[in-house]
Amino acid sequence: MRLNALEPAIHKVALVDPSFFEFSEHPVRQLLNQLARLRPELGDTDAPESELWDVADAVLGPLLSGFERDVSLFTDALVELDALVQRQAKAYQESVDAVSAACSAQEAFILARRGAAEGAGQPAVPVERGIAKEWAVWLNRVGRIEPGEQIGMGLGDDVKQHPLAWIGHSRSSFVFVR
């Protein structure tokens, strides 16, 4: 919707500024990239989705109503969109960090509980269990990646990249985020 609304202004830029096609660093191209990076589900989970788009619409407003030939309007909007994307990335990283901390705390609790069970003469819970070959291959493959790296998961041709957020101490527990 927002990209469609920007189309006339982008066409004007393409006509008046040949560097639009020559440089990937062109402010209009960067603005389009930043606009595409905005994803409400990555931001503050307490804020309504409309809040993100209200801010984006306020940033894009001058481009929709006042653009004729002054490409610096895009530069000004880009600065504001950069800040919005950075806030969103920060909120996303804080969420990933919170999930990772919760997983680490849960794992520490489980390991302490296992240790207490072993000390009380109860059998330890085995880490290795009989698992399907496909699962063992996947665990082996994913066990080589580190948090922040991505792995493709899906069915058939519908494979999506998922970043790894956390790996358990024994590398048998994993948390992926999207």
CA distance 129 to 127: 6
Low-confidence ranges of the chain (pLDDT < 70): 40-49, 116-132, 134-135, 142-143, 170-172, 178
52, 40 in Cβ contact below 8 A?
yes
The model's pTM:
0.62
User: Running DSSP on this structure, what letter comes out for residue 18?
Assistant: T
The identity of residue 19, as a single letter, is S
- Cα separations (Å) of 112 from 107, 124, 143, 168? 8, 12, 23, 14
Strand order in the sheet with 158-167: 150-155, 158-167, 174-176
pLDDT at 4: 79
What would the two tokens of residue 6 be? Answer: 């920007």
| Residue-wise DSSP of 46-80 | TS-HHHHHHHHHHHHHHHHHH-SS-THHHHHHHHH
Q: For 63-89, how does the pLDDT look when each residue is reduced to its tens digit (9 = 90+)?
A: 777 777 777 888 888 999 999 889 888
- What is the separation of C-alpha 161 from the centre of its chain, rounded to a whole number of angstroms? 10
Q: What pLDDT is attached to residue 119?
A: 60
Q: Which tokens in the block code for residue 97?
A: 């960090």
- What confidence score (pLDDT) does residue 20 get? 87
- Taking the CA atoms of 109, 112, 117 and 123 in sequence, report the sign of the dihedral they define: positive
